[in-house]
Chain A
């Protein structure tokens, strides 16, 4: 596609349920990033994938969070047993590769609300 696509755009879930958020990066981009943005806050790095390398999971806040990237393209961020503090906008970005100085292209985000 023309840009990074995320789905759903909005998700309301009950506390304790699992959710899956999807990201379709720009075709050909080998690097993919997930960020979390709480209301009125900055961008919190969660996880990054580069090609076939092991992902950098250093930003995941707890073991309830996980992500995978199948076939080097689409990525899914899974949050298990959601908590109210998980409510935020989850942003996905991709770039051509992870060489220094590569622009990250962002999707519109998924707004997650845990009630």
Chain B
């Protein structure tokens, strides 16, 4: 089955700096790569996703890049703000495409 690894597990940045989280996946048939943000006491919420026919996607301060050859994808947050502090999860859908396999999560702390 699909295996997704995520790094780093924790990330501390100064407000205004950029944050980058990287994930690798094992199943070359994976086609869908979402990123979720989980705030304390809440369920994860989708913030951006990318599909295998696209190499990069941007939504305001958030961007995701995908390298299918190397089987890795990354989340980039620019001009970080304190409200970006949360746990971020990457995921991939695997060959069957009917459920997501999640990375271990990255705890991001943005220091004011």
Binding site for B on A (CB under 8 A): 4, 31, 33, 35, 40-43, 45, 48, 50, 56, 91, 93, 98-101, 103-109
Contact = CB atoms under 8 A, between A and B. Distances in A.
Contacts of A100: 31-32, 93, 97-98
Interface residues of B, number: 25
Q: What does DSSP make chain A's interface, helix, strand, loop or mixed?
A: loop
B101 interface: yes
A42 B102 contact: yes
Given A42-B103, A43-B102, A48-B99, A101 B42 contact: no
Contacts, number: 61
A43 B38 CA distance: 11
A101 B51 contact: yes
Contacts of B45: 106
Interface of B: 6, 31-32, 34, 36, 41-46, 49, 51, 89, 93, 97-105, 107
Interface-central residue, A4, A100, A109, by most chain B CB under 10 Å:
A100
Contacts of A56: 98-99
A45 B101 contact: yes
B49 A103 contact: yes
Contacts of B44: 43, 91, 106
A48 B97 contact: no
Given A35-B102, A98-B97, 16 more contacts: A42-B6, A42-B89, A43-B44, A45-B101, A45-B102, A48-B98, A56-B98, A56-B99, A91-B43, A99-B97, A100-B93, A101-B31, A101-B93, A103-B34, A109-B42, A109-B43
A41 B104 contact: yes
Contacts of B103: 42
Contacts of B32: 100-101
